[in-house]
Amino acid sequence: MASLKPQNKIELYSGNYFAACTLGGIIACGPTHTMVTPLDLVKCRRQVDSSLYKSNTSAWKSIYAKEGIRGVFFGWSPTFVGYSLQGAGKYGFYEIFKYWYGEQLAPGAPKQIVYLAASASAEFLADLALCPLEAIKVRMQTSVPPFAQTLREGWGKVVAQEGVGGLYKGLYPLWARQIPYTMVKFATFEETVNQIYKFIGKPKDQLNGLQQTGVSFLGGYIAGIGCAVVSHPADVMVSKLNSDRKAGEGAGQALTRIYGKIGFAGLWNGLPTRIFMIGTLTAFQWLIYDSFKVSLGLPTSGGH
């Protein structure tokens, strides 16, 4: 009887392998970020104005009563496009840089150093694609009345008012948020998965695909909690910069002015919501990403 186990037809570290990882990143990130748009919407609004809603539940009730389900998912289109592009770069470039740094450039380097360097390099590039969409998303979600109703309208208004540079005015804070986030996400995931396999007492190749992806889900959730905490202050500043930056004001001036208004405590507005959102998001991203790899006959991530 023929084996039902998928055969590995893609050579590891080949062009097709990296292309598959890139596609896996799109599938893992775009839909998952879009699904949590209601959480992200409320988080961004409470970061900008902590007195706007008493709780997440009251926020959703208020938004739904006024705008229906469309209002609860407001900003989904720039979210879907932006994080699909970011996922492609984040996962695709991570696999490329991990192989290049760890196998070609510095084969004797500690694995954690390789994970950190590869993830930082990947996110640096991925954010160039994400930044314009993130800028439009935040403006749409935090302005009343909304800055724009659609991605297309928002893109046109930003370019018309501020030029293409307006789409990238939040790039430095985005890097400050996303690069540490991704470094923690990937390095913690890799190390957590290794520890889980040690605890189980079996090498990865002795477990079936379902068991391996279960390990990926658990490792992803643990990594996501760390991501949320490390990157939250920068996440608050990205929301503030995109919603409250004055015309002609430099990034440094804007950051100083905004911090003067909100203080250190203000940098942590919305953290519990973000821990829940990012933990769940990260867990499902690794689950989807590794399930996609398994469907192609490729090994899951980590545990090497």
- Count the helices and strands in the chain (H runs, E runs): 10, 0
Residue 118: give its domain's CATH number. Answer: 1.50.40.10
Domain that holds residue 136: 11-168
Model pLDDT, residue 99? 96
Structure-derived torsion over alpha carbons of residues 204, 208, 213, 218, reported in degrees to the nearest 10: -60
The string over 28-39, giving b where at least 16 C-beta atoms fall within 10 Å of a residue's C-beta and e elsewhere, is: bbbbbbbbbbbb
Model pLDDT, residue 247? 67
Amino acid at 11: E
Count the residues in the chain: 304
Tell me, yes or no, whether 134 and 21 share the same domain: yes
Tell me, yes or no, whether 215 and 276 share the same domain: yes
Question: In this structure, are residues 37 and 81 in contact, taking their beta carbons and an 8 Å threshold?
Answer: no
Domain stops at, among 168, 190, 211? 168
Tell me, yes or no, whether 158 and 188 share the same domain: no
Q: Which residues of the chain have pLDDT under 70?
A: 1-8, 242-245, 247-248, 251, 303-304
In this predicted model, what pLDDT tens digit does every residue of 65-105 receive, in sequence order?
A: 999 999 999 999 999 999 999 999 999 999 999 999 999 99
Tell me, yes or no, whether 220 and 249 share the same domain: yes
Tell me, yes or no, whether 109 and 32 share the same domain: yes
Tell me, yes or no, whether 75 and 105 share the same domain: yes
Tell me, yes or no, whether 189 and 143 share the same domain: no
Model pLDDT, residue 2? 40
Model pLDDT, residue 93? 98
Model pLDDT, residue 154? 96
Model pLDDT, residue 258? 82
Model pLDDT, residue 156? 96
Q: Is the full-model pTM beyond 0.85?
A: no
